[in-house]
Amino acid sequence: MSNLSLRLIPSNLRRSCFVLDGIKSRTRNVHKVPPLQYSIEKGLGKFLPPLALKTVVEYQQGLLDRLNEEVKDTAEENMSVAQTVINTSTLRERTLAFNYASLALNNSFFLDHLKPPPSPDSDHEDKISIELLNHIRRSHGDLKQLKSTFSSAALSLFTNGFVWFVCDSNGATGVLPTLGPGTLLVRSRTYMGKDGLVLGQKYSDPVVSPPNAPKPQNPAWSRAQSPTPHPSPPGVSPSSPTSGISGTNTPSNPDPLRPRFLHTSASRSGLNTTPASLYSSLKPTSTASMLNVGQVLYPLFCVSVHEHAWLSAGYGVWGREEWLRQFWKVLDWQKVSMSFQAVCGNHTASTI
């Protein structure tokens, strides 16, 4: 009998281990900021020196911490950041979850396309592919004009937001701003980002929903107020999830994730056009024209227009313009070119 008991003990222990494993497997996943591809201690040149880069990464972690609390015990508890944006984008009562997730998605995309400069006064422009450069020339005249258009859009923002360089599947490129937590990375319930993880993403695959997927019905839990009472991040007022603009001032728009396409073209010089919005003002003599290019826009890179970035970098309250000049020295043009090629594929080769 004693021998039988001794033989049974290991199996009992194994069953206990299985129970413990089951408990562990149900542990809630949380979003955390993984290591960057570059050193925080070394910074990103004059654009984001070590202290400034640390501030931006701390901001990212703060967004993820608040997102973790906001989605606790909800349907989004174990979802990716991108899927959380998709799920909450149509639910006004889930505004905080959308704001935190969307800002984290944008901020991650911003940081993911930066790279330390080869030397203090150099950049990565020699890594631009000939295909992308030709399309930039076709859409903007030259790289200098693109920089001017992009920087003007960033300087025209009088609130926190992001400015994006985008393309369509035909290779046409343009510049678009988004306000607050508005994003171009999710459109028509599809994650538009290419390869690479969101900073804080816990899944290795980008989350994609069918473009024509039906909108989710409000489950019982969604009718409740936000689970946590935390205020919005600095400079971000409670907003309509799909607009990124204050709920009381949100203009009527049946598809707020379908932005107009701001595009400068040498071949359309002399056109007297108006800016795409109050937040993308252009000089009266600009060659800008608004186009609806295709049905799908793909972000290639963006810049975060948040005051904490240039203040912590030492440029002062009014130093945004000089700070933006430094942005071009750390932009990873090789990664941008690879994304452009992935979007346009054979079309660029056949039309250039």
> Please, are residues 75 and 219 in contact by the beta-carbon 8 Å criterion?
yes
> Please, are residues 260 and 292 in contact by the beta-carbon 8 Å criterion?
yes
What is the number of domains present in the chain?
1
Q: Is residue 107 part of a domain?
A: yes
Q: Give the pLDDT score at 66.
A: 95
Q: Give the pLDDT score at 291.
A: 38
DSSP string, 118-164: SSTT--SGGG--HHHHHHHHHHHSSHHHHHHHHHHHHHH-SSSEEEE
Q: Is residue 83 part of a domain?
A: yes
Q: Is residue 60 part of a domain?
A: yes
> Please, are residues 171 and 135 in contact by the beta-carbon 8 Å criterion?
yes
Q: Is residue 25 part of a domain?
A: no
φ and ψ of 300, to 5 deg: -105, -35
Q: CATH number of the domain that 205 lies in? A: 3.55.40.20
Q: Is residue 114 part of a domain?
A: yes
- Half-sphere exposure for 216 (CA within 13 Å, toward CB): 20
| Burial class of residue 76, CB neighbours in 10 A (0-12, 13-18, 19+) | buried
Q: What is the C-alpha to C-alpha distance for residues 77 and 68, in angstroms, rounded to an integer?
A: 7
Alpha helices in the chain (DSSP H): 2-25, 50-71, 81-88, 95-112, 130-140, 143-156, 307-312, 320-330, 333-344, 346-351
Q: How many C-beta atoms surround the C-beta of residue 177 within 10 A?
A: 24
DSSP string, 41-52: TT-BTTTB-HHH
- The answer to pTM > 0.95 is no
What residues make up the domain containing 197? 42-226+257-351
Q: Is residue 34 part of a domain?
A: no
Which candidate, 85, 68, 2, places its Cα nearest to that of 30? 68
pLDDT tens digits, residue range 197-252?
Answer: 344 433 233 333 323 334 433 333 233 334 444 444 444 433 333 333 333 333 33
Give Cα 91 distance to the centre of its chain: 20
Q: Is residue 31 part of a domain?
A: no
Question: One-letter amino acid identity for 160?
Answer: N
Q: Is residue 232 part of a domain?
A: no
Q: What strand order describes the sheet that includes 161-167?
A: 288-291, 261-264, 173-179, 161-167, 298-305
φ and ψ of 71, to 5 deg: -95, 0
Give the torsion sign (CA, 241, 208, 332, 151): negative
Q: Give the pLDDT score at 210.
A: 29
Residues of the chain with pLDDT under 50: 1-2, 4-26, 188, 195-294, 349-352
Q: Reduced to 3 states, what is the DSSP secondary structure of residue 166?
A: strand
